[in-house]
Structure 1
Amino acid sequence: MEADVLNRTNLRRHTIVAGVFFIAVLSVQKVWADVPDYPDRSVNVVIPYPAGGSGDTTVRFIGRKLSERWGKPVIVENKAGASGIIGTQAVGKASPDGYTALFTTTLHIQNEAVGKKAPYNPITDFVPVGQVLRSPAVLVVSSAVSANSFGQYVDFVKSQQSKPSFGSAGNATTSHLYGELFTRKTGLTAVHVPYKGGAPMMTDLLGGHINYAVIDVGSVMPMLKAGKVKVFAITGAERSSLLPNIPTFKELGFTGFESYGWMGFLLPKNTPTSVTEKWEVALSAITKSPEYTELINGLGMEPTTIQAAQFSSVLKSDIANWRRIAEEARITAE
């Protein structure tokens, strides 16, 4: 009898303790999900590439605007190395509380598409919160070339006795992928010449050391305005407001060139929805401002306001497209 009473007493105690623990867990989860005061301290934004360049300019501008909106410091940190993998991994391992964000580029998914090994999954280990710009690429040649249209240029290259060459900003980059795709789609046989960035490649293009390239508009625009180069086609699903008179590859009968280069923000997976929503609202306001539009257009890119759901779709469709291009062009990270 006494044993039964003791067992029932212990059972009630365990039930009460379990109930209190369950309520406590729910309370913690609710607070974690709501995060009403976010941000209540400084926010760190990692860009996994070296300082300088259009990406650096863009993220520092947005960082200043976020600081103004939130009333807290937004610190931009360049953590370069291994084609962006080192900085990206650091963000992936960070606490999913919204205080460490990643500002990255198309390379985030291209690494996966070309078989570059990384200690994270670019899709499932991150939460996209906003794509803030896109960057089409153009087929560019020296103005010394006599051809004045896409068709004329392809015929001109095919008529040359020497084997043509095309440049890129590096192996397995967007310019390499699109350059190789153009070469194969037009039936050309060309030598790929990789450079350490777009600037030295453009210098050699002007000097006649390479024949053509398919590279981002930002790298080409100053020389195009100066009359030093010609542009015959542009990537993307539609003509660009930056160069409205230039036809897309698709218009010219060549598919596969629809994906854009882009830049955007991601957070570690499991970041509370209330935090990602605050990022979405802030980024939307910043990217729609005339000041931001002027900055991005000046860098030779197109401002975008693509929020989480749509950005997630872009990531998934782009990784499939870049993988297909890499396979078709037989490009790997090695």
Structure 2
Amino acid sequence: MSRSHVKQEESKLKGYKQWATLMMSFLMAVSVSACGAKDTPATTQGAPTSAQPAPSEPAPEYPTKQIEYIVPYSAGGGVDLVARATADYLSKEWGQPIVVVNKAGGGGAVGAEYALKQAKPDGYTALAVNVSNTTMLTAGMLNSPVKNEDQIYTSRIGKGTLAFAVKADAPWKDFAEFSQWVKAHPEQLTWTSVGPAGFSAFGVAEWLDAIGADFSKTRMIVTKGASDSVPKVAGGHAVLAVHTIGEIMPMLQAGKVKILAVSGQERSPFLPDVPTAEELGIKGLTVFWWTGVSFAKGTPDYVIAKWQESIAKMEQDPAFVKKLTDIQVENDYANSTEFNQDVNRETAYYTELATKKNMRK
């Protein structure tokens, strides 16, 4: 083979190698591009995908101004005292004023309607809920102005034992004797309550059902709350007041009334010498008092979370627990989920009781 021919063959081979190298580079680039399109999250292009969600927006700062804490009863009652202790703690915790506003009337419905239906659902109007203006209100009224679905039950704070109080010089030596008298003379029993759906009304109805007395022949005297109710009994204007121990305690300590019995399975730590109704043969009394906080439907989630977490912390604070103990209330925290479950269960029970006793109006 001539030298010129060899040079031509070498030139052809060199050209082929260059072409092959270029083709391999091209094919590799295409392959990488295809794999990248399939496997690389779209966030590389600046758009979130389900595989890698965009980070959530941080919750707005809250609170940034004064909060109204609506108590739908008169000042001085159990709901009011617990709300004031709570407001005091959270005001210091958050560095913003929380002002307790009493809006009594309608068995707790007036204040509840204001907080849940009239005020803005922005987290700056809280409602001091309790058993009377929630489960009992719904059960006691055919068309309740405030319903469970109108609110977000945020946290339960405390509970109280139901106590039966009469005038200090009343003739009955114990609750069993008093119950026998009521069964024989139901028309002579007058009892106080904030309304037909109040805590006292259900406490009385359950007790009368347990002893077989005629609820319809007794007479309710409407009051604005415990601070109005117990003095009426002390003054002889009503025979019976059914409230928490804490609500009755001031008049009890003053010697104006006496407590014949308490409900529940065990004696109250606040009145260890007073027997339970069950000890005296009157069984099945389960009504108990509780209070907490709720907000109108539509209130932002971050508000509910802030209150729930802060109340849980508050319930562990010795100074706050002492405040509850001083007013004879037991701390009884429940988060929003537990609170809602308890409310639904109570509503069903109280509705059945109210229907049976023809209490629903």
With structure 2 as the length reference, what TM-score do the two structures score?
0.72
Distance 1:276 1:145 in 2: 47
Native 8 Å contact 1:89 1:119 kept in 2:
yes
Q: State the alpha-carbon separation in 1 of the partners of residues 318 and 158 from structure 2.
A: 14
2:359 to 328, 331, 334: 331
Structure-2 change in CA distance of 1:182 and 1:332 (3 Å): same
SS at match of 1:241: coil
1:44/1:156 CA distance change after superposition, 3 Å: closer
Q: Which residue of structure 1 aligns with residue 17 of structure 2?
A: none
User: Does structure 1 residue 195 correspond to structure 2 residue 222?
Assistant: yes
CA contact (8 A) 2:162 2:287 kept: no
Instruction: Name the residue aligned to 2:67.
Output: 43
What is the match of residue 129 of structure 1? 154
CA contact (8 A) 1:42 1:99 kept: yes
Counterpart-to-counterpart distance in 1, 2:227 and 2:87: 26
Q: How does 1:65-144 map to 2 (within 5 A)?
A: 65-93=89-117, 94-109=119-134, 110-115=136-141, 117-122=143-148, 124-144=149-169
Q: List per-residue Cα deviations over 1:5-27 (Å, max 9, x = no partner).
A: xxxxxxxxxxxxxx99x99xx97
Distance 1:320 1:246, change over 3 A: farther
Deviation at 1:199, TM superposition (A): 4.5
Q: Report the equivalent of 2:291.
A: 263
Contact residue 167 and residue 213 of structure 1 kept, 8 A: yes
CA contact (8 A) 1:168 1:215 kept: no
| CA spacing shift, 1:75–1:287, aligned 2, 3 Å | same
Kindly indicate whether the alpha-carbon contact (under 8 Å) linking 1:181 and 1:329 is maintained by their aligned counterparts in 2: no
Structure 2 residue aligned with 1:3: none
Q: Give the TM-score taking structure 1 as reference length.
A: 0.77
Give 1:73's aligned amino acid.
Answer: P
Over residues 48-87 of structure 1, what are the superposed CA-to-partner deviations in whole Å (9 max), with x where a residue is unaligned? Answer: 3344544333323322321221223333333444333343
Aligned to 1:4: none
In the TM superposition, what is the alpha-carbon distance from 1:178 to its structure 2 partner? 1.7
Instruction: Give the conservation status (yes or no) of the 8 Å contact 2:154–2:336.
Output: yes
String of CA shifts for 1:32-57, please: whole Å, max 9, x gaps: xx415333444333333344544333
Structure 2 unaligned residues grouped into runs of 5+: 1-45
* CA gap 1:309/1:240 in 2 versus in 1, 3 angstroms: farther
**In 2: Cα distance, 1:295 partner to 1:107 partner:** 22
**1:310 matches 2:338:** yes
User: Quick one: structure 1 residues 144 and 312, their matched pair in 2 at CA, closer, same or farther if it must change by over 3 Å?
Assistant: same
Q: Is the 8 A contact 1:134 1:263 kept in 2?
A: yes
From the superposition, tell whether residues 282 and 237 of structure 1 become closer, same or farther in structure 2 (CA, over 3 Å): farther
CA distance in 2, matches of 1:199, 1:80: 12
Q: Which structure has the greater CA radius of gyration? A: 2
The whole-number CA distance in structure 2 between the counterparts of 1:276 and 1:146 is 50
Q: Higher relative contact order by CA 8 Å / sep ≥ 6: 1 or 2?
A: 1
Contact in 2 for aligned 1:237/1:259 (Cα 8 Å): no
Cα distance, 1:114 vs structure 2: 0.6
Q: SS in structure 1 opposite 2:277?
A: coil
State how 1:177-216 maps to structure 2 within 5 Å.
Answer: 177-189=202-214, 191-196=218-223, 197-216=225-244
**What's the Cα RMSD here?**
3.4
In the TM superposition, residue 297 of structure 1 has moved relative to its aligned partner by 2.7
Deviation of 1:279 (Å): 1.1
Q: 2:275 & 2:143 partners in 1: Cα distance?
A: 36
For structure 1, which runs of at least 5 residues remain unmatched after alignment? Answer: 1-18
Residues 131, 263 of structure 1: 8 Å contact kept? yes
Distance in 2, matches of 1:219 and 1:115, equals 25
Amino acid at match of 1:37: E
Which of these residues, 254, 269, 274, is aligned with residue 241 of structure 1? 269
**Cα distance change of structure 1 residues 202 and 99 upon mapping to structure 2, 3 Å threshold:** closer
In the TM superposition, what is the alpha-carbon distance from 1:106 to its structure 2 partner? Answer: 1.6
User: What code does the residue aligned with 1:168 have?
Assistant: T
**Do the aligned residues in 1 keep the contact of 2:107 with 2:194 (CA within 8 Å)?**
no
Q: Is the 8 A contact 2:69 2:99 kept in 1?
A: yes
1:1-40 to 2 correspondences below 5 Å: 30-31=56-57, 34-35=58-59, 37-40=61-64
SS at match of 1:132: strand
- Describe the shift of the 1:53–1:140 C-alpha distance in structure 2 as closer, same or farther (beyond 3 A): closer
In 2, Cα distance between equivalents of 1:252 and 1:179: 17
The 3-state SS of whatever aligns with 2:204 is: helix
Between the aligned partners of 1:330 and 1:263, the Cα distance in structure 2 is 26
**Does 2:83 correspond to 1:59?**
yes
Secondary structure (helix, strand or coil) at the match of 1:278 reads: helix
Supply the AA of the counterpart residue of 1:64. Answer: D
Distance 2:73 2:170 in 1: 35
Aligned to 1:230: 258
Tell me the residue number matched to 2:245: 217
- Percent identical across equivalent pairs? 27
Q: Report SS of the residue matched to 2:101.
A: strand
SS in 2 for 1:56: helix
**Cα distance change on mapping 1:322 and 1:75 into 2, 3 Å:** same
CA drift of 1:228 comes to 4.1
